[in-house]
Structure 1
Amino acid sequence: MSHWVEVNDVTIERIRRRLTECVRLLEIYSWVVDSFVLDFFLDSHWSHLPESWCNILKHCSPQTLASLLDPNIPADQKQVWPLSLLAFKKSILSLSLSRKQVSDFKFVKAFLDSTVLNERASKKSKQDSPKANFSEIETGLKVEDEQNSNKMEKEKFCFFEDMLSVLEKKNPTLKQIFRKHVKPKKQYELARLGKFTYDILNQINVNCLIDVGSGQGHLARYLCYSYSLQVACVDSNKDFTDSARKFDIQLEQSFRKLERRGEHCLHIPHTAPVHVNAWLQPVMDLQAFHSILSEKFHIYDTSLRYCILGLHTCGDLGPVLIKMYAQDTKATVLNSIGCCYMKIKEHFPMSLFLRGVETRWKLNYTNAELACHAIEMYTERLREGEEDKLKVHCYRAVLEKFLMKKDPALKHSILRTVSRAHTLTFLEYAVKATSKLPLGIDPLEFDTEEIREELSAWWEVVGYYTLRLALAPILETVILLDRCVFLYENGFRSLLIPLFDPIISPRNQLIFSAKN
């Protein structure tokens, strides 16, 4: 099975069926995805599960529990799972998107080639006589493609183990320049997405891109100074823009310092990153926006073709960029990786198809937040024998019930984060967690049989948490496939690609599209 999904004329019906089945599954288990684990004791979540499920979850090993999240982890063969739980696990596995990162992206070249092929075939059918057929055109183009592919560098459409290290082999002194102010997770993301973006744009001869939600401009600088692309940083936050300009200046100063010392260095591009403060909306004045970009890029408006790039666009910004791509004839390529789905307020569902599916299930803050969880990191804790660290879920659930008894107004209060909570007693945890609340706690209040019994049920809380987390990939699948179906409905094919290692970067799915 491919790690990626292509949405086109051939696959669209399968995609729609998959979307429908995902929604049906969420409808069946809406009581799970719409619940809060911190209400475990308050709302008696455990009693809502089938008895056969409770017997398995209560007595299973951490590895068996992890197998519910990862099919590659073997479950305990001594335990016989009920068919309904096996069906639950199998349904999630068959419907959800693969999250295993792709090792290369040569398949994207085939996607681009077929896009060009369709365009050339369409043009030729209009120019030639009716006798011209697609197979003749395809044969000629295949020869041409084979000749061109022989000239491509070996690393084309491939990732390196560590792309920043590859850059260091050309210029070891650049390591600190590109990593300054950038956390390791971000370094990994910008290097991998940067290589992907450069190879794609180089293939279709597009040199301009807008990095939307660019923040402090780390990705933009990498694309600009490593790959000589023309990049416009678009962000609505002026403070971020000011910081990005400051870091641009620091980077150029570092380059010049190296040059004065006579050290080999990458050349400063003719056009450094440019910055635009704007709030993008699908209904915005595109002509005015094009004028700004043309001025910034120093090119004529008629020559403007650009890529829309969004790395971890928060909430509604991801759908806004997709709609902008669909409407803007100048936007030639889309690279979009979303995050913070719980902040979506007005752009779901996007597709006409999903709007037409009759269902009682609705996307809300609670289940959309679940779609953002780092499921692989949680699985690792179970598999590596670190399940004790998960006791905090039980601590929080016990504390929630206690707070509600004290004052119903304290329901779902934001508590202080307690580090290494699993090493503390519940009393120590409770005192630290509630330190910012106007609440006095008498230690004797926790010395009750009821609380001791609840604390002893911590593995049941972990089991319920895992069961709920198992549905997180289905939620994300619905959100992302809906966006791809929207693109298809507007005439654009797309690819959905797990670009990042989900342990490093949990929101790892890239929506890619390119116009003819």
Structure 2
Amino acid sequence: MARPGLLMGSQNFPFEQQKELAVSICSFLSRYRHISDSYVIEFFTEGLWETLPPGWQEALSDLSPPQIADLLLDSAPKNGRSYASVWPLSLLAFRATAHALAFPRMLCGPDAVPAEFQENQCQSSLLGHIFRKHVKPKKQHEIRRLGPVVKKLCDLTGCDTLVDVGSGQGHLTRFLSFGLGLSVTGIEADPALVSMASKFDEQLLCTLHKESQRKNGTAVRSLSVIGPSPRHVTGWVNPRASWEEFTKLLVQRREEEENGLDGAKGQVDRRGQGESMSNPHQELNCQCQPVHRKGPSSCSSCGRTELDFPQRGTGHTAHAQGLNCRSWQHRTQPHQMCDSTEPSPDCSQNCCTEDMEQSNSGLTPTKSSAAQFKQNKMANNGFKDTAGPVKDLCCGLTPTVHSSSGTAGQANGHQQGVGFILTGLHACGDLSATLLRHFASCPQVRGITSVACCYMKLTTPDNPTPPGVLALSDSVHKGQGEGTGFGYPMSSWVQGLAGHQLSYKAREGACHALEDYAQRLRTQSGLLKSHCYRAALETVIRRAAPGLRRAGIQTIKKAHELPFVEYARLGLQRVGLSPDLPLDHAGLDAMLCQQGRVVAYFSLALLLAPVIETLVLLDRILFLQEKGLTTQLLPLFDPQFSPRNLVLLAAKTGQEGGQHNPIQ
């Protein structure tokens, strides 16, 4: 039987070509490993400029930042390329190969780039205010784009039940549930985030209740039109556990709830959910004070806590069909979301604080006609849908039939309501790989949407416990089933390729935002000083403490606006050294004059980042292909907002018939 192919957007990518691409990437990265594995802060201490071929040094040394953006990072500059000197063929080949091997990252189609932040940089014009509250612009953009794709996958598989793993404060969960009428359970390891998610749900219901009263007088209309309340669960997904253990935990907690073992905690978790939705005419206990508490980091998949599944409310109705439509528009100018010193990994990007918006619109009565519902939905709940780029995203993604014996073939039907969909928006490190393994092996998981991040936290055979990752015991590493593998590589094909190894630094580099850095180059941002400052400071640290290498220095606020002497004083304090160490001012001035070279070298390393990410994602795609599953990869988000913008989708239908669904 022929292997299923990969759909890259609307283009078919046969299995054999995927394997050939993996071979080419491994060969290419092996040749330039000295660049991808280097740390730019060691530019002076390790003589990184001298590691480049002389011809490369001559071609790159005198380029301005905009020239570096156009000649190196941009695959197709709008105004073409103009060279000040003849570039060596090896450098031209390096650039061309890096661009050719990477998966496309830009949104495709004439209406693909949203103009949602042109009017207000902190509020998406395509997302209703009830879904913008407490949500940063980056996350607004992501949930607005991903939500309809998840709904499309649910329609394709006949499932309206989802598990959102790594759900954080529940922003995506809330939109999928209240906004698109799906039955959603959010699993999050951090109990503080779970508590905030439940609180935000209550605030949303309270806001709708008040708006309904304002529009309809004292009569409180049915709230079931907005969809069911989500469940927010505190739980840690063990990356080494098998899918049987994963579903067993779901069933176990469900049985405990049914037997009344959840106690008072379940009653607290269910406030504003089951009770409020089961009787839409009852008076809500509204406590709509804004929550100003700052939540922990969004990458919280590594904290082990007790798994807890609150009771599901009874009010489940889906009203996603009547969404009003509005076309995506081009953004004429790229929008820079924040002014950080690094093109930072996706999960740590800072965005503007949202300006809350209130609306006087109310709810549509449940008995309104479909035409009335379609006409008023945007005003009622803020659904400003854009069917254009979304409606065809899953076209061509044919669900794969998996029988209980594990054989795969093309779908010829499916059973409505059996199983569930897994989704993970920027699931950190091994978590995204774990979800793919569960999807491939668990017959109850019918589909998946996977957006990865934090590749440096992936476990590998060479580095089973990378920095920042919870060390698992030997007994956990020796788990059963599909959970025994590492985060990378997953596929047998990539694992067998020479040069497939990716260092921690290479994977960390793949998390940086090439598009954001290119914009800094074009605008000649003062932030470009940051790498040169840090590299010069490294020489000072090494002279004072030779054993202190690449010491962590938290971001110094507005470092690029400081004189280097002041920057050095603050940096030395942060690594435990005296801020009054004598400085070689002449030597440091000579280093700071080489800022252009530092920027050029970092740009070379950054050009490899999309290639490394492509290999990681291609390995996951090949893993699913080896299991007989068809996949689709989409550049769904604007990379200016969300650097980790590639979404992996896959679907299957089962013939297990009547299998127990542990999350219903």
User: The TM-score by the shorter chain falls in which range?
Assistant: 0.7 to 0.9
Who is 2:627 aligned against?
490
Who is 2:644 aligned against?
507
Who is 1:88 aligned against?
94
Q: How do 1:15-414 and structure 2 match up within 5 A?
A: 15-66=18-69, 67-73=71-77, 74-103=80-109, 162=116, 175-262=128-215, 267=224, 269=226, 271-281=228-238, 282-284=241-243, 285-289=245-249, 291=251, 303-345=417-459, 346-359=486-499, 362-386=501-525, 388-414=526-552
| Structure 2 residue matching 1:261: 3-state secondary structure | helix
Q: Does the 8 A contact of 2:7 with 2:632 survive in 1?
A: no
| Structure 2 residue matching 1:419: 3-state secondary structure | coil
CA distance in 2, matches of 1:31, 1:447: 29
CA distance in 2, matches of 1:270, 1:397: 53
| Structure 2 residue matching 1:484: 3-state secondary structure | helix
Alpha-carbon RMSD across the aligned residues, in angstroms, is 2.9
CA distance in 2, matches of 1:40, 1:510: 34
| Structure 2 residue matching 1:476: 3-state secondary structure | helix
Matched, 1:428 2:562: no
Q: Does the 8 A contact of 2:107 with 2:113 survive in 1?
A: no
Q: Does the 8 A contact of 1:164 with 1:191 survive in 2?
A: no
CA distance in 2, matches of 1:428, 1:503: 32
TM-score for both structures, normalised by structure 1:
0.81
Deviation of 1:424 (Å): 2.1
Matched, 1:463 2:423: no
Who is 1:450 aligned against?
587
CA distance in 2, matches of 1:163, 1:457: 37
Deviation of 1:72 (Å): 1.8
CA distance in 1, matches of 2:130, 2:608: 41
Cα distance per residue 1:31-57 (max 9 Å; x no partner) = 111110001110111111000000011
CA distance in 1, matches of 2:232, 2:570: 44
CA distance in 1, matches of 2:312, 2:109: 34
Q: Deviating runs (4+, > 6 A) in structure 1?
A: none
Q: Does the 8 A contact of 1:224 with 1:231 survive in 2?
A: yes
Deviation of 1:433 (Å): 2.5
Counting helix residues as a fraction of each chain, which structure ranks higher? Answer: 1
The runs of 5 or more residues in structure 1 that have no matched partner are: 106-157, 166-171
CA distance in 2, matches of 1:441, 1:72: 46
Deviation of 1:278 (Å): 2.8
Q: Which amino acid aligns with 1:177?
A: I
Q: Which amino acid aligns with 1:236?
A: A
- CA 77–35 in structure 1, closer or farther in 2 if over 3 Å, else same: closer
| Structure 2 residue matching 1:408: 3-state secondary structure | coil
Cα distance per residue 1:302-331 (max 9 Å; x no partner) = 943211110000000000000000011111
- CA 27–347 in structure 1, closer or farther in 2 if over 3 Å, else same: same
CA distance in 2, matches of 1:26, 1:265: 58
- Between stretches 286-295 and 373-382, larger displacement belongs to 286-295
Q: Does the 8 A contact of 1:159 with 1:192 survive in 2?
A: no
Deviation of 1:7 (Å): 9.6
Q: Does the 8 A contact of 2:573 with 2:579 survive in 1?
A: no
The runs of 5 or more residues in structure 2 that have no matched partner are: 1-5, 120-124, 259-310, 315-414, 460-485, 654-664
Cα distance per residue 1:279-304 (max 9 Å; x no partner) = 334514254255357985589x9943
TM-score for both structures, normalised by structure 2:
0.64
Q: Which amino acid aligns with 1:462?
A: V
Who is 1:438 aligned against?
576
- CA 160–306 in structure 1, closer or farther in 2 if over 3 Å, else same: farther
Q: Which amino acid aligns with 1:369?
A: E
Cα distance per residue 1:363-395 (max 9 Å; x no partner) = 221111000001100001112232x42121111
Cα distance per residue 1:256-292 (max 9 Å; x no partner) = 1112223599745563101233333451425425535
Counting aligned pairs with the same residue, the percent is: 35
Cα distance per residue 1:97-144 (max 9 Å; x no partner) = 111023499xxxxxxxxxxxxxxxxxxxxxxxxxxxxxxxxxxxxxxx
Deviation of 1:3 (Å): 9.7
Query: Number of paired residues?
Result: 452
Q: Does the 8 A contact of 1:102 with 1:497 survive in 2?
A: no
Q: Does the 8 A contact of 2:186 with 2:233 survive in 1?
A: yes
